[in-house]
């Protein structure tokens, strides 16, 4: 606690210094570009340089530092270095750090609607998330949800559709989900539980040993690129797809609203562009790396790659609809967000049935 209090004190002092610097800049605004020099901290929910997610955070920090010509210098702290992974929201909210790189579905306990801005089971894919956030009203709702917490969110990364997970035994029917102990966090876990499974929430670092010891029967993590690095194929033979539980999670960059609002308009625009660039770049990285990793898993490590049976997917979808409906019924703002997302999903699905989906089928 002592250390945390010290860190909190430092954070408040730094935030105050940052605001003072912005104030000086404000006074000099008429003379063109500001000479503001801000030292900002970015806290993340990922280990430093963790492939994809951690490297996305690092690239965002680099881009902001470079694109602002050093007017904002961003230093990244991996999970646990300044605050634990699941305290990023509070740390940025109170100004211990000015930026957080994390995922909105971790904050369901703060705001029931939060998961909709990352991913929900059978929700939007990456392309659709970007459409909803930018042109479907999603971003306005996200900003409205986070404003009372003194936060400004931006989309800053996406993994694309994940794998359904790694299983020690094959899944041939819905009955095989009965009693299945699976590492699957959040709403995906609620969906599994409704079908008789036993969801377990474990941090990434504990997945391998838990699968190895048989403490769990299955685990979802990210996709081939990250899962290969974790060695999950060495403790579970079957890789199942598609990742119904996380069809295109948006990673978020959250900014302390007091610090962000004090910036001159050019720096706000630069930050917006840097987040958009990283949002695009992370998906590109996963798109490029996932299949290389999957080839390696199947060819070199005898991973059994399987599609979840249709009846299992149908049951999961039905369960997901009920779980999302319950979430919406629990909170008026969650209801508003779910209605917006569901309307957009129906539109996107209609368009994608004659564009992306039809094209993928034609290209086979
Ligand atoms: Ca996942």
Helix (H) or strand (E) holding 237: none
pLDDT tens readout for residues 260-270 = 999 999 999 99
Asked if 236 and 168 touch (Cβ cutoff 8 Å), the reply is: yes
Domain 165-247+295-346 class in CATH: alpha beta
Residue pointed to by tokens 């993590």: 221
Asked if 231 and 208 touch (Cβ cutoff 8 Å), the reply is: yes
**Minimal CA–CA distance to 334: which of 108, 107, 113, 104?**
113
- Domain 38-158+248-287, CATH: 3.40.190.170
**How much distance in Å is there from the Cα of 208 to the middle of ligand 1?**
14
- What residues have CB less than 8 Å from 218, skipping those under 6 apart? 165, 166, 167, 168, 180, 181, 182, 183, 184, 211, 236
Give the pLDDT confidence score for residue 34 in this predicted structure. 62
Q: Report whether pLDDT(297) > 50.
A: yes
Q: Name the DSSP letter for residue 217.
A: S
Looking at residues 206-210, what average pLDDT do you find?
94
**How much distance in Å is there from the Cα of 362 to the middle of ligand 1?**
30
Looking at residues 305-320, what average pLDDT do you find?
98
And the tokens for 13?
A: 């002092």
**How much distance in Å is there from the Cα of 241 to the middle of ligand 1?**
12
Q: Where are the domains of the chain?
A: 38-158+248-287, 165-247+295-346
Give the pLDDT confidence score for residue 275 in this predicted structure. 98
Strand partners of residue 239: 166, 305
Looking only at the bridges linking them, the beta strands covering 238-241 and 165-167 are: antiparallel
**How much distance in Å is there from the Cα of 139 to the middle of ligand 1?**
22
**How much distance in Å is there from the Cα of 308 to the middle of ligand 1?**
16
**How much distance in Å is there from the Cα of 199 to the middle of ligand 1?**
13
Looking at residues 283-309, what average pLDDT do you find?
97
Looking at residues 58-87, what average pLDDT do you find?
96
- What residues have CB less than 8 Å from 18, skipping those under 6 apart? 38, 39, 40, 98, 259, 262
Q: What is the CA radius of gyration of the chain?
A: 21
Q: Report whether pLDDT(323) > 70.
A: yes
Q: Report whether pLDDT(16) > 50.
A: no
| Confidence tier at 29 by pLDDT (50, 70, 90) | very low
* Range scoring the smallest mean pLDDT among 27-36, 105-114, 186-195, 306-315: 27-36
Q: Report whether pLDDT(284) > 50.
A: yes
Beta strands in the chain (DSSP E): 38-44, 72-77, 99-103, 151-158, 165-167, 181-183, 198-200, 218-219, 238-241, 250-256, 304-307
And the tokens for 304?
A: 């059994």
**Minimal CA–CA distance to 113: which of 153, 165, 54, 156?**
153
Residue 305 backbone phi and psi in degrees, to 5: -90, 120
Do the domains 38-158+248-287 and 165-247+295-346 sit in the same CATH topology, yes or no?
yes
Three-state SS at 252: strand
49, 103, 118, 168 from 108: Cα distances, Å: 26, 11, 11, 30
What is the per-residue DSSP string for 46-85? S-TT-TTHHHHHHHHHHHHHHHTTTSEEEEEE-TTTSS-G
Q: Name the DSSP letter for residue 161.
A: S
Give the pLDDT confidence score for residue 33 in this predicted structure. 58
pLDDT tens readout for residues 165-177 = 999 999 999 999 9
Q: Report whether pLDDT(179) > 50.
A: yes
- What residues have CB less than 8 Å from 146, skipping those under 6 apart? 111, 152, 153, 254, 257
**How much distance in Å is there from the Cα of 6 to the middle of ligand 1?**
34
**How much distance in Å is there from the Cα of 246 to the middle of ligand 1?**
6
Q: What percent of the chain has pLDDT over 70?
A: 91
**How much distance in Å is there from the Cα of 305 to the middle of ligand 1?**
17
């Amino acid at each position: 606690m002592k250390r945390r209090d010290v860190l909190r004190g430092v954070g408040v002092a730094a935030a105050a210094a940052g605001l003072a610097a912005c104030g000086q800049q404000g006074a000099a605004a008429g003379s063109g570009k500001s000479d503001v020099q801000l030292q900002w901290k970015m806290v993340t929910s990922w280990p430093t340089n963790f492939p994809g997610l951690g490297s996305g955070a690092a690239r965002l920090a680099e881009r902001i530092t470079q694109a602002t010509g050093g007017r904002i210098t961003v230093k990244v702290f991996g999970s646990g270095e300044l605050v634990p992974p699941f305290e990023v929201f509070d740390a940025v909210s109170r100004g211990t750090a000015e930026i957080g790189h994390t995922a909105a579905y971790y904050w369901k306990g703060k705001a029931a609607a939060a998961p909709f801005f990352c991913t929900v089971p059978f929700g939007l894919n990456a392309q659709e998330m970007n459409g909803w956030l930018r042109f479907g009203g999603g971003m306005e709702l996200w900003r409205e949800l986070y404003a009372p917490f003194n936060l400004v969110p931006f989309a800053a990364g996406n993994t694309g559709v994940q794998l359904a997970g790694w299983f020690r035994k094959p899944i041939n029917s819905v009955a095989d989900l009965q009693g299945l102990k699976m590492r699957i966090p959040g709403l995906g876990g609620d969906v599994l539980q409704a079908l008789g499974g036993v969801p377990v929430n474990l941090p990434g670092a504990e997945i391998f040993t838990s699968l190895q010891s048989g403490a769990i029967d299955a685990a979802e993590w990210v996709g081939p690129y990250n899962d290969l690095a974790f060695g999950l194929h060495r403790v579970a033979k079957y890789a199942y797809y598609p990742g119904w539980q996380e069809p295109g999670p948006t990673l978020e960059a959250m900014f302390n609203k007091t610090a962000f609002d004090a910036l001159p308009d050019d720096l706000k625009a630069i930050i917006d562009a840097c987040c958009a660039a990283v949002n695009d770049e992370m998906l590109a990285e996963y798109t490029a790396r996932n299949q290389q990793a999957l080839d390696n898993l199947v060819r070199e490590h005898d991973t059994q790659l399987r599609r979840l049976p249709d009846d299992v997917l149908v049951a999961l979808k039905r369960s997901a609809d009920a779980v999302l409906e319950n979430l919406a019924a629990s909170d008026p703002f969650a209801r508003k967000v779910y209605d917006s997302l569901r309307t957009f999903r129906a539109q996107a699905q209609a368009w994608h049935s004659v564009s992306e989906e039809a094209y993928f089928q034609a290209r086979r």
